Amino acid sequence: MIPCPICNHPKTKLKFQLKFNVHECANCGFQFCPDATFNKSLVSDLNEETREKALINLRKENFQHIIASIKKTKEIKSKGLEVGPGYGWFLEVCRDHGISCLGIEPETRFNEHYQKEGLQVKNGFFPQDLQEESDFDFIAYNDVMEHLPNLNGIMEANYDLLNPEGLLIVNLPQQDGLIYFISKMAYRFGIKSLMDRMWQFNFHSPHLSYFTKSTLIKLAKDNHFEAIESFPLKTINVSEISDRIDQDNQQGTLAKMITKIGVLLLFPFLQIFPDTRCFIFRKK
């Protein structure tokens, strides 16, 4: 038995037998993978060049929505921190809106881009490698928190680093999204590849958690944060579907073609049942 990281309930069950095993809490439904870890060799089936092309417009569009939410509750000159900025797109949007935002990123391959764009990013892992920095007005996790271990330790660090009434911004994929639901149905019929892809077990930074709205809010509440807003984010742009599928080097040509047709058929329903949602919390 592995206790639930969210509600500490002792009864959890093996939910999915994949490349790494996924467990589910019998009480709150939180799903987590205690065995997967960040592969520091950075070797995986992820095609980074295609991934960047597939995501840049989508992510920047979503980030504009998030910045608008920050501006409603904080002054434009807010001091922010982004954990895991990756390509630096959120930092660029902050800069363009006159918002100061620091990043902390374990991968060094983005450093040349950061320097070129004038972005302030420290290399390392959060929070242990963030030294002599505090008093942030907001901390942002853009598709990052689901990749992190020790969630309660992360939340404690967020609380300590934020100013009074500081904002915690978390956007991530949800269990109750349409594509995750379809992946669960496929798993029941013996097709595991979709669920492996949802957990990104073939990539060097796999998912360690899959939240529902209620489990994320509980994690925040138990660590002295209150939810003040949430809103859906776009999951995919029609014009970028091919690039999004091509980022997985493990899929063959036929599999990619079938996946593309499936996504095109599902696209209208993704607007009704979005897979990704952003949550804004305030430090109590």
- pLDDT single digits (tens) 58-111: 899 999 999 999 888 876 668 999 999 999 999 999 999 999 999 999 999 999
**pTM for the predicted model, two decimal places:** 0.86
Domains (ranges, CATH) in the chain?
12-283 (3.40.50.150)
Q: Is 169 exposed, middle or buried (0-12, 13-18, 19+ CB in 10 A)?
A: buried
Nearest to residue 210, comparing CAs of 163, 156, 173, 258?
A: 173
Quote the CA–CA distance of 103 and 119 in Å, as a whole number: 8
Query: Which pLDDT belongs to residue 38?
Result: 86
Query: Which pLDDT belongs to residue 39?
Result: 82
Report the half-sphere exposure of 24 (CA within 13 A, side-chain side).
8
Residue 210: strand pairing partners: 31
Q: Is 237 exposed, middle or buried (0-12, 13-18, 19+ CB in 10 A)?
A: middle
- Report residue 226: phi and psi, to 5°: -115, 140
Residue 25: strand pairing partners: 12
72: Cα separation from own chain's centroid: 23
Query: Which pLDDT belongs to residue 175?
Result: 93
Query: Which pLDDT belongs to residue 46?
Result: 56
The segments of the chain whose pLDDT lies below 50 read none
Q: In what order do the strands lie in the sheet with 100-105?
A: 121-123, 100-105, 79-83, 136-142, 162-173, 276-283, 225-233
- Report residue 228: phi and psi, to 5°: -120, -15
